Structure 1
């Protein structure tokens, strides 16, 4: 049958393309042609049969939001992570990533795949590391076979996309200690691979065996997300030689993926001042020829701990407007803790708002029509419609009713001085007076 790319290049419009066409309001032929060129990717492992929220990212499509969940070595409660999946299902996450790095990782991933209604991604290097720890070994002891066996296990289970840190070569890993960085290397996967490469004096197995990675990804039609192992972890490190060097390597590898019929996207860029975000997105698009860009955050300040979901949403809105294709959310717990379910909800809604704001610029009138409907509803004090247009209807309704027991008339901010009451009353009074005379 072939991958989505292979079928598109043969002129076929797959069932997934037809679904995406309806969801996005874009002609199926355009979806097919963009998939064929690698400018759109569709997340769908051939082994997944329970997706009901189909997701594609790329040129001409709405900006998507990814939710990270997953237990850690310090806190592993399966039921709590399932609650997070339920929140992601309910509040419109477009993809979900299971970042579990401790405990029964296989069980967690398989349960997430069962419960999630959208595409699921993972970062296999986390499991490679944990399995070494469980065997009383250190990260430097895993073999290339260990790594690829875990990757294929994820593929067989039905994972739709994976983060693979292909661009952190041995040469770049050796440069880490020579490049002055404020925050160092903040990617867990990047740190693991850098340690392995430097200790063993061997090339990154994802880079040296990239053809084999493409072979197994093509077999399951898994989207490769070329990870940003050397992303800046502080705004002062943005666009240094490590970040840009890795991006250039990943751009070359992404083009090779397309040549081999494998769907691919690129990750970036972490922490970055607001005035550099537009340039960063355009740089990725220029280097890759339009391959989808999956951005983490972006965090335009380093001092918003406890509110990083707000800071990240600001950066995410700018990235979306500039052409980024998917935002990885942040929660209020970023840099502080594993997020709880309520914090997952806060982060998801903040980034759904950011994506929408960006799409108002990127896609224009098609998206702005939603805001126009809200404006009309507000002008007529149509609360039922207003609540239906919000990202969290129950929260909006709860706030509206915190000082008022019914849903009609004005809100309690202005009460009888509501602008939508005062002027109409005056006009009606004027009209009555005119009729009397």
Structure 2
């Protein structure tokens, strides 16, 4: 029996290699996974042309996955440094990489990325359109926008971020809303500008079926972008954000009718108390489709530390129903992240994802923490390092400050609580003095 997409296969009862792999990774019955895929609650982004993909599931009952943004720009157009970041991101176990390239040899970078990465790959084609055609944004035609989309999927991209929900009606609300930060989505702002100058509808909204044709042909997942995501706490959960979300829910149903897999992108900046409500609202308005969030960043006043503000929000979001976390680095709002910035962002986001998995009771999540606790109780330093999310940093800390006694550290020395409890319970003398 033939199938067009992973969703189509699940609906027809066909077990694809990708479905089999994800079921094994998630310790889930194939039948349960396929039932969730059939109703759109789980996606497996897997472009037919991404031949070395190691597929992952995103959505209901899955372990929370993380995404890493990178790519070349006009100010930083060298390909090799970005590919070094790709290698590091894969080493740090990122499940997805989004190529946000917007200038230079974007197709060369994209092709090399797909070729080298077993992680799923996403792109935002509108970023690439301006540089690719080397013309003013307003002069790009509808056909040219869709031609760039097709080039991306032909190159093997697994999911596409397209800001389909920012239509002219919502754009009018943006102009009246008196937001503090207006539109902070790069893709959303480009489409808003194109619509305003040309007095035309968003081509991806107006010609949504044309987009679905491309996605269905290559089995590409559609990541419905949040052009109205809040760029500050003040703008969170306003009418613009909610109206766009309602539109995305309508588009989700249209995509599912074509067996095209969908996930929904979400905020943004948001106070902690608003996050659970936003997660519930997305799931209700978008019919249980997987939710992909940037942060949310829970305060606006920590530039240089936004990997922390985002990790706080990401943990709450994940615990409350988000399925996919986009990393945020210390360089957010400030510059293109360096390799070190990227590493800090990945670890912070992985911490948030794992903390949420523990809180949700994901099978096996707490066992990792219990193993670390046993190693700590035994003062098994090599064991602790092997279990660490990032083994390198704790080893460096330990090596940089050697204690007098191996069963302690330079913080407490012989007063180490763990050391002394182990000794006294074993019937040994403690001897705190030298």
TM-score normalised per structure 1: 0.95
CA displacement 1:292-330 (0-9 Å, x = unmatched)? 000011101111100000110000000000010000000
Query: How far off its partner does 1:407 sit?
Result: 10
Corresponding residue of 1:23: 25
Checking the alignment, whether the CA contact within 8 Å between 1:174 and 1:198 is kept in structure 2 is no
Aligned 8 A contact 1:316 1:355 in 2 = yes
The equivalent position to 2:239 in structure 1, one of 241, 247, 250, is 241
In the alignment, which of 287, 290, 294 is matched to residue 289 of structure 1? 287
1:373 counterpart = 2:352? no
Deviation at 1:256, TM superposition (A): 1.2
Are 2:403 and 2:410, in contact at CA under 8 Å, matched by a contact in 1? no
1:435 match: none
Who is 2:76 aligned against? 75
SS of equivalent to 1:401? helix
Tell me if the contact between 2:403 and 2:413 (Cα under 8 Å) persists in the aligned partners.
Answer: no
SS of structure 2 residue aligned to 1:271: coil
Contact kept? 1:71, 1:99, Cα under 8 Å: yes
Deviations 1:318-367 (A, max 9, x none): 00000100000000100000001111111001100100001111135531
Supply the distance in 2 between the matched residues of 1:324 and 1:28 (Cα, whole angstroms). 22
Shift of 1:129: 2.0
| SS across alignment from 1:212 | helix
Aligned to 1:393: 391
Tell me which residue corresponds to 1:316. Answer: 314
Name the residue aligned to 1:360.
Answer: 358
For structure 1, the residue ranges without an aligned partner over 5 or more in a row are 432-437
1:434 aligned residue: none
1:380-437 CA-to-partner distances (Å, cap 9, x unmatched) read 1112221111111011111112111899422222121111221233334479xxxxxx
What does residue range 225-240 of structure 1 map to in structure 2 within 5 Å? Answer: 225-240=223-238
Please name the residue that 2:432 is paired with. Answer: none
Give the whole-Å Cα distance in 2 for the aligned partners of 1:404 and 1:250.
56
Stretches of 4+ moved more than 3 A in 1? 405-408, 427-431
**Which residue of the other structure, out of 13, 16, 22, is the alignment partner of 1:14?**
16
How many residues align? The count is 427
Stretches of structure 2 that go unaligned for 5 or more consecutive residues are 430-434
- With the length of structure 2 as denominator, give the TM-score of the two structures: 0.96
Q: CA RMSD in A?
A: 1.5
CA–CA separation in structure 1 for the residues paired with 2:426 and 2:285:
62
Partner of 1:221: 219
Inter-CA distance 306–15: structure 2 relative to 1 (3 Å threshold): same
Counterpart among 379, 382, 391 of residue 380 in structure 2: 382
- Equivalent of residue 186 in structure 1, options 179, 184, 187: 184
Listed one character per residue, the Cα deviations across residues 7-55 of structure 1 (whole Å, up to 9, x for unaligned) are 1111111111111111111111111111111100001100111123x21
Aligned position for 1:44: 46
